Amino acid sequence: MNWNKHAKYYDWEFDLICTNQREDIRIWKVLAKEYGGPILELCCGSGRITQELIKDGHIIFVIDNSNEMLNILKAKNLPNIEILNSDMTTFKINRKFKFAFISYSSFQQLLTLEEQIKCLNNIYDHLEDGGVLAMDINPRICEGAEILPRTHSYTAEYPINNSTVTMYTSHKIDRINQIKHWKDEYLEIAENGEERRTFIDISLKECSKDYMKLLFEKCKFEIINIYGDFDNGDVTENSDNLIYVVRKK
Ligand SMILES: C[S@@+](CC[C@H](N)C(=O)[O-])C[C@H]1O[C@@H](n2cnc3c(N)ncnc32)[C@H](O)[C@@H]1O
């Protein structure tokens, strides 16, 4: 999945609409403190979590496969960071880490079991003995209507360009492969009335609790904890995020 086209809107849109997800920072701070550095962050994007962990004094090695997302991160000029443009299934770093994590359901961008196993095996090879991996998984990706026709999501001022952005979203669920495919359209209207449209496709794979249990077992990770929210709470039938903390066997 390539986030280059989305990068220019990412931080702005996150602040605008992702009210629940922004609570996630609490658990990454707690886990980073508990398991310590050096830390490996996969799918770091523009560094939303990274910058907060660096403020806490951590040294972080980050990976993402979007040049544009990484350019935004680099422009933040953060200290104590090493940045690599690479894929989470194939990256190679000549060192091992105590703690690795993947935030914002980003592991679910891997749409096949083969890719997921390749990624977990790769992370395994980059962890120290007894090293810990954590990731948040949205267990409800494929809930709800199978098809959402093009629907207005929001209209908001986009101060970076002195423009207005209207976002339309649509989706389709592939029930056989348990994947939800979104098609988002950003219509940006400049002050002089000029229009620019950006189309973005995002797909995420459903990963149930049992599926993740088997996947971690197969890849030789032992589950230490599964939290049902970003405050280290228990898993309930209403949990929107499951935060897995697993240890290299
Ligand atoms: C939802 S954003 C999350 C960014 C950041 N972790 C956060 O929580 O704000 C997903 C990120 O995953 C990255 N990504 C998607 N597929 C990837 C892959 N196969 N390997 C590495 N990064 C990937 C995208 O470029 C994007 O920056």
Ligand 1 binding pocket (C-beta < 6 A) is 1, 3, 43-45, 48-49, 63-66, 69, 87-88, 103-104, 106, 109
Low-confidence stretches of the chain (pLDDT < 50) are none
Q: Tell me the CA–centroid distance for residue 193 and ligand 1, in Å.
A: 32
Q: Tell me the CA–centroid distance for residue 72 and ligand 1, in Å.
A: 13
> Over the stretch 11-49, which tens digit does the pLDDT of each residue have?
999 999 988 889 999 999 999 999 988 999 999 999 999
Residue from 20, 25, 106, 116 whose mutation best tests the ligand 1 pocket (most atoms within 8 A of CB): 106
Q: Tell me the CA–centroid distance for residue 43 and ligand 1, in Å.
A: 4
Distance CA 148, CA 167 (A): 14
Burial of 133 (0-12, 13-18, 19+ CB in 10 A): buried
**Per-residue pLDDT at 36:** 86
Domains within the chain, CATH numbers bracketed: 7-139+207-248 (3.40.50.150), 147-205 (2.20.25)
Distance CA 201, CA 182 (A): 6
Residue 193 contacts residue 204 (beta carbons within 8 Å): no
Amino acid at 15: D
